[in-house]
A = this chain, B = another copy of it.
Amino acid sequence: MEYTISRFANIAGVSTRTLRYYDEINLLKPSRVNSAGYRIYGQKEIDRLQQILFFRELDVDLETIASIINDTNFNHIEALSHHYQELVRKRDRLDRLIEMVKKTIAHEKGEIQMKNDEKFEAFKDNLLAENEAKYGEETREKYGEKTINESNAKFKNMSKEQFEKMTQLGEEILELLPQALQTGDPASPLAQEVANKHKEWLTFTWPSYSKEAHKGLADMYVNDERFKAYYEKAVKGGAEFLRDAIHLYVNQS
């Protein structure tokens, strides 16, 4: 089946200008051009345009799209799975926005109070930005004081970078623990650093942080054989030492 430019545009829901532009930038060429210079499109172009629109929907710029789908290693199904995840992320962001609008309406009606940074929470795409955005009298928030909503959002929207950071944190803990133990003092700066990293690590995967829970987990590391083995494997006495460091850390902050 062959299509003129306007029929093609109609099917796909884009303008003819868009198609001419895509031709111009070599993103999507017509399958052939007739004697009068008319652009003629076919089935392959239909599928390619669909791919393009998928990516466009995710705000990928056209040059990047071109390089992606021109890549001979380009795997359709893999790309689609990626689309899928990104779309779900976008939807989650919308969910948060919708929640925020609800909240703001309640705020306007005087039913609840909103803090300034809460007012922008959902606009931000990643939470790293959120963490950087602690300023002024906006109460240098301690981790432990984070609201549940914040950490829910955190977990649900955890990006790949964050996930990598999390795994890295886990590895750092295993790496630093033996060194910290060498100091012999769970209150030593190094030991406290390990405890701190452990907390950060937790906050990635637990819905919220609390001192009690943190201490509870530290105790489990000692009391439960399997947990214990994990940290003992890194260094003998590791579980106990970590527990002590965490307890000190938690009580101190």
Contacts and interface: CB of A to CB of B under 8 A. Distances in A.
Contact of A227 (B46, B102, B136, B213): B213
Interface in A168-182: 170-171
A138 B46 CA distance: 13
Interface string A175-196: 0000000000000000000000
The 8 closest A-B pairs by CB, nearest first: A208-B226, A207-B230, A205-B205, A13-B124, A91-B94, A210-B226, A50-B119, A84-B101
A149 B230 CA distance: 8
Given A1-B137, A87-B98, A210-B225, 18 more contacts: A10-B133, A47-B119, A50-B104, A50-B119, A76-B108, A80-B104, A85-B164, A91-B94, A94-B94, A152-B230, A156-B167, A160-B160, A207-B230, A208-B230, A209-B226, A210-B226, A213-B220, A216-B220
- The oligomer's copy count stands at 2
Nearest to A103: B80
Contacts of A163: 160, 163
A49 B133 CA distance: 16
Contacts of A231: 207
A3 interface: yes
A117 B10 CA distance: 9
A40 interface: no
Nearest to A116: B46
B230 A210 contact: no
A236 B95 CA distance: 21
12 contacts: A10-B133, A11-B133, A54-B104, A87-B97, A91-B98, A156-B167, A207-B227, A208-B229, A210-B225, A212-B220, A212-B224, A213-B227
